[in-house]
């Protein structure tokens, strides 16, 4: 029994001493409106993350070693909170039970990084689908943001973080400027 306790203690201490997986900050910024589109129109907001994996970056160093990097923040919740802030700035109000709903689906949020000692190449892509639904019907729109960036030397986590946040902010800008979505919500909510 004593040997078993000793072995379990050693395994636990080894696990605690193992290096922690690297993570990056995922901080989408809402595009705030200066004027209200509507006055206090209510909707219910839901979201889901349908990505096949939860990492936000894949780093290929060329040595048959591809390392995933995760976000410190929950991607789905960060996107939902920022979009909620964005819609609130346009005069909409979120409630728990409204017949008007907005569903956010996170389909992709990834930066692929290939780097060598001399250079790096980063390809970022974010895909969000927004469904605005009312008793009169629904509008489904997909928003895609992409970015390519090359640099000298290998990419740091800060570089990856900048690309990922720039791409999600491009998508938020696209949603903010989408007249069709605004008009649909304005007329039906």
Domain range for 123: 2-188
Q: What is the DSSP string of 42-103?
A: EEEEEEEE--SS--SEEEE-SSS-EEEEEESS-HHHHHHHHHHHHHHHTTEEE-SS-S-EEE
Task: State residue 18's pLDDT score.
Answer: 42
**What DSSP element (H or E) covers 137?**
strand 137-152
pLDDT profile of the chain (189 residues), mean per 10: 57 49 86 78 91 91 83 94 92 88 95 85 94 92 93 83 93 93 86
Q: How many domains does the chain have?
A: 1
**CATH number, domain at 37?**
3.40.50
Task: State residue 154's pLDDT score.
Answer: 76
Task: State residue 17's pLDDT score.
Answer: 44
Task: State residue 171's pLDDT score.
Answer: 95
Task: State residue 2's pLDDT score.
Answer: 63
pTM: 0.81
**What DSSP element (H or E) covers 138?**
strand 137-152
Task: State residue 173's pLDDT score.
Answer: 94
């Amino acid at each position: 029994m004593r040997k078993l306790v000793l072995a379990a203690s050693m395994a636990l201490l080894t696990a605690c001493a193992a290096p922690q997986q690297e993570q990056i900050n995922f901080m989408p910024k809402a595009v705030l409106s200066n004027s209200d589109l509507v006055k206090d129109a209510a909707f219910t907001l839901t979201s889901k993350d349908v990505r096949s994996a939860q990492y936000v970056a894949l780093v290929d160093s060329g040595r048959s070693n591809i390392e995933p990097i995760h976000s410190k923040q929950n991607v789905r919740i960060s996107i939902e909170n920022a979009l909620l802030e964005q819609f609130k700035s346009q005069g909409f109000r979120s409630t728990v039970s409204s017949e008007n709903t907005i569903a956010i689906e996170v389909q992709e949020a990834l930066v692929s990084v290939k780097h060598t000692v001399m250079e790096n190449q980063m390809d970022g892509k974010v895909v969000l689908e927004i469904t605005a639904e009312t008793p009169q019907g629904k509008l489904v729109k997909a928003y895609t943001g992409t970015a390519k960036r090359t640099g000298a030397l290998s990419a740091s986590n800060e570089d990856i973080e900048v690309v990922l946040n720039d791409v999600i902010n491009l998508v938020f800008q696209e949603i903010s400027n989408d007249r069709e979505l605004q008009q649909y919500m304005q007329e039906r909510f």
